[in-house]
Amino acid sequence: MSTSNIGPKGPVTKTGEVVIDHVDHRTGAKTGIGWFLNRNIPGETSWFQTLGFAAMAVFGLQAVTGIVLAMYYKPEPTQAYASIQDITNHVTWGWLVRGMHKWGASAMIILVFLHMARVFIFGSYKYPRELTWVTGAILLIMVMFMGLTGYLLVWDQRAYWATVVAMNITASAPVIGPYIADVLRAGPTFNAHTLSRFYAIHMLVIPGGMATFIGLHLFLVSKLGISEPPWSKRATRARRAEEAAARAAARDRRPQGRREVSVDPAPQTLNVEAGQ
Ligand code: HEM
């Protein structure tokens, strides 16, 4: 029992407990949250394994600042640029919210790439986490699309021409390129409807997809557990035991009376702890 359970309880605590118990009894929420959060993690887990959460935290920040911006932004070709100027210069704290959203976009892309590099270097994409990697790769594509579609919304010369170039590059991709470009442009040419199309994709389509895939990604992380870092002593011991078992099995399979000299006497991993 924790020390917070000792002593008389005030009416607020009692009411809170009654409400939580009631909801838990009907929904099983405590068990679900417990399954998701209370997990054993490898002893040598380090700060490198917090990059995914950092990316997720920035996604939350982007969602909140994006909702505030959407309250003032006007996705009309004649009003979009002026509304952005209004947000920056007149709306209370508008400059701050817009700045957070703009820099948050870059921060998120950097964090996602760092997270992916960590996963790659640690070899965390290997069995049994292949699907976690696949859902992550889909998230990466969606993050890039958020950057592309958000960039146009400012509707200044730079945003306009940069997106025209991006659409021309997309259209030059083989077979499906022209179709994807048509869908993104809302037609065969870059026009006023393109802004509404990008706005809908940026505000609704991709955030919905990202929320779904972050949920799937986290479910897989919870179900499969966090992988051990490459320098984990426990993982090295387990690998050595597996290799010894494989060598023993190979010896047992050898035909009687024949001598083989091809069994590797000193696999690479044996050197890992040799310095200790
Ligand atoms: C929006 C983007 C993403 C978010 C919010 C996200 C979130 C997370 C979180 C919170 C974790 C658990 C903690 C950690 O290992 O850092 C994780 C693990 C993982 N992520 Fe991501 N991730 C994203 C993108 C990616 C990408 C682009 C890839 C690879 C293509 C990827 C592959 C993985 C894998 C394989 C794991 C399991 C790592 C392990 O078990 O050690 N993720 N992710």
Contacts of 13 (CB under 8 A, 6+ apart): none
Q: Is residue 105 lining ligand 1, measured as CB closer than 6 Å?
A: no
Whether the CB of 52 sits within 6 Å of ligand 1: yes
pLDDT at position 267: 47
251 and 263 Cβ atoms separated by less than 8 Å: yes
Distance 158 CA to ligand 1 centre (A): 33
Tell me how far the alpha carbon of residue 48 lies from the centroid of ligand 1, in angstroms: 11
Minimum CA distance residue for ligand 1 atom 11: 52
Q: Is the CB of 229 under 6 A from ligand 1?
A: no
Looking from the CA of 60 toward its CB, the CA atoms found within 13 Å total 7
In short, whether 55's Cβ falls inside 6 Å of ligand 1 is yes
Asked if residue 88 lies in contact with residue 96, where contact means CB atoms within 8 angstroms, the answer is: no
Per-residue confidence (pLDDT) for residue 262, from 0 to 100: 56
139 lines ligand 1 (CB under 6 A): yes
Of 28-37, 151-160, 237-246, 254-263, where does mean pLDDT reach its minimum? 254-263
Q: What confidence tens digit (pLDDT) does each residue in 198-224 have?
A: 999 999 999 999 999 999 999 999 999
Nearest residue (CA) to ligand 1, atom 41:
227
Tell me which of 5 and 111 has the higher pLDDT.
111
Pick the CATH number of 45-224 from 1.20.810.10, 1.20.120.10, 3.10.350.10, 3.40.50.2000: 1.20.810.10
136, 217 Cβ separation under 8 angstroms: yes
Does any ligand 1 atom lie closer than 6 A to the CB of residue 217?
yes
What's the token pair of residue 78?
Answer: 């004649």
Q: How far is the CA of 63 from the centre of ligand 1 (A)?
A: 19
What proportions of the chain, in percent to the nearest 5, are helix, strand and coil?
Answer: 70, 0, 30
- Mean pLDDT in residue range 129-158: 97
What confidence category does residue 253 fall into, taking pLDDT thresholds of 50, 70 and 90? Answer: confident
Instruction: Tell me, in angstroms, the distance from the centre of ligand 1 to residue 115's CA.
Output: 6
Q: How far is the CA of 44 from the centre of ligand 1 (A)?
A: 18
Cα 32 to ligand 1 centre (Å): 21
Q: Ligand 1: does its nearest atom lie under 6 Å from the Cβ of 62?
A: no
pLDDT of residue 276: 34
Say if residue 274's pLDDT is above 90: no
Name which residue sits closest to atom 25 of ligand 1, judged by CA.
136
Instruction: Give helix then strand counts, H and E, for the chain.
Output: 11, 0
Q: Where are the domains of the chain?
A: 45-224
**Six-digit token string for 68:** 């505030």
Checking if the pLDDT of 56 tops 90, the result is: yes
How does the average pLDDT of the chain come out, rounded? 91
**Is the CB of residue 41 below 6 angstroms from any atom belonging to ligand 1?**
no
Say how many Å lie between the CA of residue 140 and the centre of ligand 1: 10
